[in-house]
Structure 1
Amino acid sequence: MKRRDFAIGLGAALGAAPALALTRRPPGDSNPPDWATGPGRGDFSSARSAWAGAAEAKSPLGQTDALLVVQDGKLVFERYGEQCGPAVRHVSWSMAKSITHALVGIAVAEGKVDIDRPLKTIPRADPKLTLRSLITLTDGLEWKEGDYSPANSDAARMLYGPGRFDCAAFAGDRAQAHPPGTRWNYSTGAFVLAAAELQANLFPEAHAPGARRAAMASWIDAKLFKPLGMTSALAEFDAAGTFAGGSLVYANARDFARFGELYRLDGVWRGRRILPPGWVKFARAPTVQPIYGAGFWLEAKATNDPPSLMAGAGPMDAFSAEGHNGQVILIVPSKSLVLVRLGLMDDGDAAWKTLGAWITPIVSALPDTKAA
């Protein structure tokens, strides 16, 4: 079973800017220096050793572009590879699914959507098919994420083939293979549909692709990126103006860490509630698949198949946004910790196992947060 989506070349396929792994920001467009810095609590020798190993020419992790650790809201560890740096945007790949979860939550808080109502955007849809089932990947629609070859993958056909001009229409044309809520199946199409449903509820009068794109981009910026100070963040859209909510947001490592901090802090940022009460708990509640909640991957016992990121060897309260080629935003509330790793590695199960084993000692070496 494939766990992460593949979207290399998506920008070009959708008629947008080429989807490069790293994009440099315009001169002068620098990240505001508003991260508190300073020494962290605990032993960071594991982090230093992990970074040294990742920087080796033949590292099993491939290319590691960034490793950041935020502890107690302070940026306490920050390293970059030769092609990266604090002002370099990196593609999210499937970490965008977690961002889509946040956007749906914001719309819920504003009373713009109800995640348990039937969908507007799929004609003749099962009335039990809802935003809830889409963002928990229990939609039951016939979908084969596959190996991302055009012959074996609905995702590839949606992103690069006949579906590329209107990804939501392609994903919405799937048969209802199972009753919604009964089976878990990894699907980039589900999050594209969630993004389309969100846009239909937020901007029912916007029909032209340009109008849909402009309205949604402005809303994402105003409601999520600007409040968090994610000044580098950019959302990508397809030719029909639908947000590529399953795979494509660009941001620098510090801004991805800001997003992780929002979830560590239960949806509150600097005293302002961004996500509705209970929304982070919803993200962390296991579905019929113990390693997945709503838009986020969860830790599970070592015996779980497939394994979680740290395979039961790390804190069990950890949860993460994960993307193709080893993109990770790991959130560990018990340690007041957010870890960001960005890079370019193989996407097979063995590589993800290696990445989890690389991350686990970094996290385990740091102490739990003492109760007040």
Structure 2
Amino acid sequence: MTPESLQWSTNALEELYQYLDKKNTKAFIILKNGRIAIEYYFDGFSANNPWYWASAGKTLTATAAGIAQDEGLIDINHKVSDYLGTGWTSAPLEKENLIQIKHLLSMTSGLDDSTGDNVSPENLQYVADAGTRWAYHNVYVLIQDLLEQASGQEWSTYFNSKIKNRIGMTGTWTELNNLSVYWSNARSMARFGLMIASEGKWDTDQIVPKSYVQEAVNTSQQLNLSYGYLWWLNGKASFRLPQSQMQFNGTLIPEAPLDMFCALGKNDQKIYIVPSKDLVIIRLGEVAEGENFALSNFDNELWKKINAVIP
């Protein structure tokens, strides 16, 4: 598609490109009705260049967990110890056994979020009972380990066979600061977004159960209404942010459509999905302003520019 055929504002589109360039963007894509309407690259970047997803890639792990559950390999309502054995944290055993896979998916493990990214047992300290405290924590990455245990395959092998190869993505997992980070080109990120926007379906192939996708992109607990299973949700009455126990009233990104949900990665890696407008929007690049872990002021300002383009 073209912006002109969709009757989008081409004048506002030029302003959008200038803003994206100013904010250190490498790649920007808008899919409308499953087709590329806008695809733009900056600073010598191209459609073939890979870039890191950062925490936007958390959603890849959440999606793989849904597939594994459908295959009967795991049950997200079972405790993590069923798959990793006891002693995977430094919490007392009775507290560790409260932590289910669902708590890792919803950021409610109750483990200390102030000890850094290291997910070795000595660094996973008890703070509160699972399900009683929301805190953004990279302990979610242990879902990859338990999927290895449950499937008998390396994480990347399982991911490639169940998601990457089935929807034609490129990309690789790399270790960065003790975390598994995904790198791909922008179109691969758009493919993943499109599959989620289609409620887990790719062409005629149901990659992820529709019911699981619906569960993942809706409020997963009552502590942070704006969080699903590693997905951020717009349009809720309140939200919490990484490295804080404060609750903020209002919607996550006021300028974005209320039904929008998104994958947000460190330093402004973005997947926005808007069901009501059949939009998937991708942004990859350097940090737009100050370093951030998920949400930033850039999100709201970017949506002001997008709204000027799309009626």
**Paired positions, count:** 289
Contact 2:29–2:281, Cα closer than 8 Å, also in 1: yes
In structure 2, relative to structure 1, the CA distance for the partners of 1:365 and 1:348 (3 Å cut) is: same
Aligned with 1:226: secondary structure? Answer: helix
CA distance in 1, matches of 2:32, 2:284: 18
- Provide TM-score, normalisation by structure 2: 0.84
Aligned partner letter, 1:339? I
**Deviates most, 276-285 or 78-87:** 276-285
- Counterpart in 1 of 2:232? 297
Report the counterpart of residue 184 of structure 1 in structure 2: 134
Residue 98 of structure 2 is matched in structure 1 by 128
1:306: Cα distance to partner? 4.2
**Paired amino acid for 1:48:** E
Residues 7-48 of structure 1, C-alpha deviation per residue, up to 9 Å, x if partnerless? xxxxxxxxxxxxxxxxxxxxxxxxxxxxxx545534143343
> What is the match of residue 211 of structure 2?
278
Cα 1:197–1:65 change in 2 (3 A) is same
The 5 A counterparts of 1:205-284 are 215-230=154-169, 232-237=170-175, 244-245=179-180, 248-284=181-217
Q: 1:114 aligns with which of 56, 75, 91?
A: 75
One-letter amino acid of the structure 1 residue matched with residue 120 of structure 2: A
Cα distance in 1 for partners of 2:237, 2:283 equals 22
3-state SS of the aligned residue for 1:94?
A: helix
The two structures, once aligned, show a CA RMSD in angstroms of 2.6
**CA 1:42/1:187 → structure 2, altered by over 3 Å: closer, same or farther?**
farther
5+ long unaligned stretches in structure 1 = 1-36, 145-152, 159-167, 204-211, 368-372
The match for 1:334 is: 276
1:93 match? 54
Query: Residue 116 of structure 2 aligns to which amino acid in structure 1?
Result: D
**What code does the residue aligned with 2:137 have?**
S
1:308 shift after superposition: 8.0
Matched ranges for 1:32-47 at <5 A: 37-39=1-3, 41-45=6-10, 46-47=12-13
Q: Quote the sequence identity (%).
A: 25
| Residues 1:335 and 1:98: Cα distance change in structure 2 (over 3 Å) | same
| Separation (CA, whole Å) in 2 of partners of 1:228 and 1:78 | 19
Q: Is the 8 A contact 1:301 1:311 kept in 2?
A: no
Cα 1:349/1:135, change in 2 over 3 Å: closer
Which residue type is aligned with residue 186 of structure 1? Y
Deviation at 1:276, TM superposition (A): 1.4
TM-score, structure 1 normalization: 0.71
Report the equivalent of 1:49: 15
SS in 1 for 2:37: strand
Give the deviation of 1:363 after TM superposition: 4.4
Structure 1 contact 302–312 (Cα < 8 Å) conserved: no
Report the AA paired with residue 167 of structure 2: L
Cα contact 1:94–1:322 (8 A) shared by 2: yes
Q: For the structure 1 residues 202 and 350, does the alpha-carbon distance in structure 2 shift closer, same or farther, using more than 3 Å as the test?
A: closer
* Secondary structure of the structure 1 residue equivalent to 2:306: helix
Deviation at residue 349 of structure 1 after TM alignment: 8.8
- The separation in 2 between residues aligned to 1:200 and 1:307, in whole angstroms, is 40
**TM-superposed deviation, 1:316:** 1.0
Q: Which residue matches 2:242? A: none
Which residue in 1 is equivalent to 2:299?
355
* Correspondent of 2:35 among 52, 56, 74: 74
1:137-176 superposed matches below 5 A: 137-144=107-114, 153-155=115-117, 158=118, 168-170=119-121, 173-176=123-126
